[in-house]
């Protein structure tokens, strides 16, 4: 488990390095806000299609080779990014990166292979922790590396590629295969038609997934627009933009790791979801309207608090909406909804940013308001909150 945690963490650190600085290089090649949004959308779109494919491949050939292939693919993507000299090459790097970065479900399957059911939930939390740490370390590292080769993605790209290469080597040397060697290999358990039938038969699940879609679209508006907003309205460079993303990751991580587990037993997931929506929406509005740096930072902190409370709540409700033997299929569908939301949200945000810099955040706040109204119709499962 420690080796797998480090593997996922370093993969996400590489992703985080590129996250805040990509818009600056795209702008240098004449990209519009819509094109910047599409750079983020294409990454999520590739993941939407590749994640189940990697899952099925890992069922047949094993988890370890797929995880190693994903790391090597990400490394190639960062090498392309480091050598990018046009907007088209940036798009190629994002497409290749989406292919390589689609192996998180395989890491989750690895955990399911090696842990008993009673301790599986806690070990699955390692993936969330890796996301949190990666979202903090990566942007900060990207911020510092952007000043090593100003105006060029060379240093951030080569560093991210080196991290992936070292990570792949460590996986080759130290990560064992989790699936036993036997002739029969079961195919992926995720069955999309069956999952859709389950959603259609349950008003609760349909509402939960709709709320999840709206929340994730709202949050994903930050990915392609926060750096351009910091640049155009506050004259910040890549370094400061990286610090803003890191701040968002720190606040969200603290809420998810230290606050949620203490609050949910008293409020239930539904109560925390509705309570977290208020700072989420206010933070987005403040970011869209802020004219000073303290106002922007306050908005980011509020968004971090809101997002940190809403996502664990909505996923908790989703996991409790079905019996244990159907959770895998339902949560798999939830992952697909999240990927779709990031495709829609980043593209929408880029287009709205071209019209007015604050519009993506206003749209996000409206989505959070709509999600809050829908959440009022959700049922809180009985018994002790999960």
pLDDT band at 377 (very low <50, low <70, confident <90, very high): confident
pLDDT band at 187 (very low <50, low <70, confident <90, very high): very low
Mean of the per-residue pLDDT values of the chain: 85
Cβ–Cβ under 8 Å, residues 272 and 224: no
How many angstroms separate the CA atoms of 19 and 32, rounded?
Answer: 17
Residue 167 has pLDDT above 60, yes or no: yes
Under DSSP, is residue 62 helix (H, G, I), strand (E, B) or coil?
coil
Residue 222 has pLDDT above 50, yes or no: yes
What pLDDT was estimated at residue 327?
Answer: 57
Return the higher-pLDDT residue of 341 and 326. 341
Give me the CATH code for the 1-174 domain, please.
1.20.1250.20
Mean pLDDT within 265-272: 84
Mean pLDDT within 241-253: 92
Q: Give per-residue pLDDT as tens, 289-318.
A: 999 999 999 999 999 999 988 888 887 787
Cβ–Cβ under 8 Å, residues 332 and 190: yes
What pLDDT was estimated at residue 338?
Answer: 85
Mean pLDDT within 186-192: 51
Mean pLDDT within 91-100: 94
Cβ–Cβ under 8 Å, residues 116 and 100: no
Cβ–Cβ under 8 Å, residues 205 and 318: yes
- For the chain, the residue count is 386
What pLDDT was estimated at residue 337?
Answer: 86
Domain extents in the chain: 1-174, 192-381
pLDDT band at 200 (very low <50, low <70, confident <90, very high): low
Report which DSSP code applies to 255: I
What pLDDT was estimated at residue 183?
Answer: 42
Residue 386 has pLDDT above 50, yes or no: no
Residue 186 has pLDDT above 70, yes or no: no
| Planar angle of CA 269, 257, 360, nearest 5 degrees | 70
pLDDT band at 50 (very low <50, low <70, confident <90, very high): confident
Burial 356-382 (b: 16+ CB within 10 A, else e): ebbbbbbbbbebbbebbeebeebeebe
Domains 1-174 and 192-381 share a fold: yes
How many angstroms separate the CA atoms of 191 and 379, rounded?
Answer: 26
How many angstroms separate the CA atoms of 160 and 212, rounded?
Answer: 31
CA distances from 182 to 60, 89, 175 (A): 10, 42, 19
What pLDDT was estimated at residue 264?
Answer: 80
Lowest mean per-residue pLDDT among 154-163, 186-195, 359-368: 186-195
Residue 123 has pLDDT above 70, yes or no: no
For 338, phi then psi, to 5°, come to -65, -40
What pLDDT was estimated at residue 318?
Answer: 78
pLDDT band at 385 (very low <50, low <70, confident <90, very high): very low
How many angstroms separate the CA atoms of 58 and 78, rounded?
Answer: 24
Residue 328: name the closest of 55, 128, 93, 43 by CA: 55
pLDDT band at 285 (very low <50, low <70, confident <90, very high): very high
How many angstroms separate the CA atoms of 337 and 346, rounded?
Answer: 14
| Planar angle of CA 325, 329, 332, nearest 5 degrees | 140
Mean pLDDT within 185-194: 53
What pLDDT was estimated at residue 125?
Answer: 59
Q: What is the pTM of this model?
A: 0.84
Cβ–Cβ under 8 Å, residues 248 and 300: yes
pLDDT band at 52 (very low <50, low <70, confident <90, very high): confident
Residue 240 has pLDDT above 90, yes or no: yes
The topology (CATH level 3) of 192-381 is: Growth Hormone; Chain: A; (1.20.1250)
Residue 343: name the closest of 117, 47, 94, 73 by CA: 47
For 221, phi then psi, to 5°, come to -65, -20
Report which DSSP code applies to 147: T
In 186-256, alpha helices (H): 192-201, 203-220, 222-234, 238-254
Other beta carbons within 10 Å of 169:
13
Q: What percent of the chain has pLDDT over 90?
A: 51
Q: Give per-residue pLDDT as tens, 223-232.
A: 999 999 999 9
What pLDDT was estimated at residue 158?
Answer: 95
């Amino acid at each position: 488990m420690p080796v797998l945690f480090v593997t996922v963490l370093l993969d996400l650190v590489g992703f985080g390095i590129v996250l805040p600085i990509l818009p600056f290089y795209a702008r240098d090649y004449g990209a519009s806000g819509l094109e910047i949004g599409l750079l983020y959308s294409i990454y999520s779109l590739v993941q939407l299609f590749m994640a189940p494919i990697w899952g099925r491949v890992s069922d047949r050939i094993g988890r370890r080779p797929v995880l190693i292939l994903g790391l090597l693919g990400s490394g190639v993507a960062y090498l392309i990014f480091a050598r990018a000299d046009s907007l088209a090459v940036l798009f190629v790097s994002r497409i290749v990166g989406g292919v390589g970065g689609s192996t998180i479900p395989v890491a989750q399957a690895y955990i399911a292979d090696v842990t008993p059911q009673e301790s599986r939930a806690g070990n699955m939390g390692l993936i969330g922790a890796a996301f949190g740490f990666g979202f903090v370390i990566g942007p900060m590292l990207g911020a510092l590396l952007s000043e090593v080769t100003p105006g060029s993605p060379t240093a951030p790209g080569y560093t991210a590629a080196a991290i992936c290469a070292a990570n792949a080597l460590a996986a080759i040397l130290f990560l064992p295969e989790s699936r036993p060697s036997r002739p029969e290999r079961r195919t992926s358990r995720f069955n999309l038609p069956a999952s859709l039938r389950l959603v259609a038969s349950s008003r609760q699940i349909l509402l939960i997934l709709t709320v999840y879609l709206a929340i994730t679209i709202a949050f994903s508006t930050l990915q392609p627009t926060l750096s351009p907003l910091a640049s155009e309205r506050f004259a910040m460079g890549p370094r400061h933009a990286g610090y803003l993303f890191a701040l968002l990751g720190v606040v969200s991580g603290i809420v998810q790791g230290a606050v949620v587990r203490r609050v949910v037993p008293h409020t239930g997931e539904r109560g925390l979801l509705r309570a977290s929506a208020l700072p989420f929406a206010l933070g987005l509005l403040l970011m869209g309207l802020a004219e000073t740096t303290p106002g922007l930072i306050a908005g980011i902190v509020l968004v971090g608090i809101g997002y940190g409370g809403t996502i664990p709540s909505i996923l908790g409700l989703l996991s409790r909406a079905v019996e244990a033997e159907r959770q895998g299929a339902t949560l798999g569908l939830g992952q697909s909804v999240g990927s779709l939301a990031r495709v829609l949200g980043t593209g929408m945000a880029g287009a709205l940013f071209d019209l007015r810099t604050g519009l993506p955040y206003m749209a996000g706040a409206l989505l959070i308001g709509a999600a809050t109204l829908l959440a009022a119709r959700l049922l809180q499962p009985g018994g002790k909150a999960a």
